[in-house]
Amino acid sequence: MPYSKEHKKETRKKILDSAITLFSSKGFDQVSIDELMQHADLTRGAFYAHFESKEAVYAKAIIAGAKKSRITHQKPKKLTEDEWMKDLLMGYLSEDHITQKYSPCPLAFLVTDIANNKKEVRATYTRIYKILNKTIQIQLDKNPERPKPNEQEVFATTAMMIGGVAIGRALNDEATIKDLLDSCRKATLSLLKLEN
């Protein structure tokens, strides 16, 4: 008897969730399809019913990981636009994010891994990065009372967000990580004209 659409959808989600977790912690080359499927508690055969290659699941995992980002969520009604943007920045540039307490951002967690990957994967990463910049700009444009950052300031902000988290993951000194994140938070608030 064939599997239902709901079962197939759930199986695909399990594979992608495992891919996000494993690729963001180990990188592309260090994760095998067998390990990925074992982590998802599925058989290797199930993999090929959903993806044609490890590169394909990697590219889809980048998209799935980005969709889990808080920046894609609805703004809570109790927060103003500026409060919401500040909250997003502070959460992104936090020790909890570095330690993967919640879903890691593929832009930060896979940045060096992506640079050494195939064209299709790099194209997906580029698309997600552009969406991040556009999303931030749209969010900031919602407050007509405040001066708007320009495109270069938004690019500098996202580069600092991604770079800050990526560097923070590589450090082994808590005080240095804290100083790095504090500096990045302060600079991003200034760049986006949110420091007040």
What is the tally of structural domains in the chain? 2
Asked whether residue 105 is assigned to any structural domain, the reply reads yes
Looking at the structure, do residues 117 and 176 belong to the same domain, yes or no? yes
Nearest to 109 by CA among 64, 51, 144, 56: 64
pLDDT, tens digit, for every residue of 148-184?
Answer: 889 999 999 999 999 999 999 889 999 999 999 999 9
Residue pLDDT, tens place only, 106-153: 778 777 777 666 788 888 889 999 999 999 998 888 888 888 889 999
Note whether residue 116 is domain-resident.
yes
Same domain for 81 and 29:
no
Domain housing 31? 5-57
Q: Are 164 and 93 in contact (CB under 8 A)?
A: yes
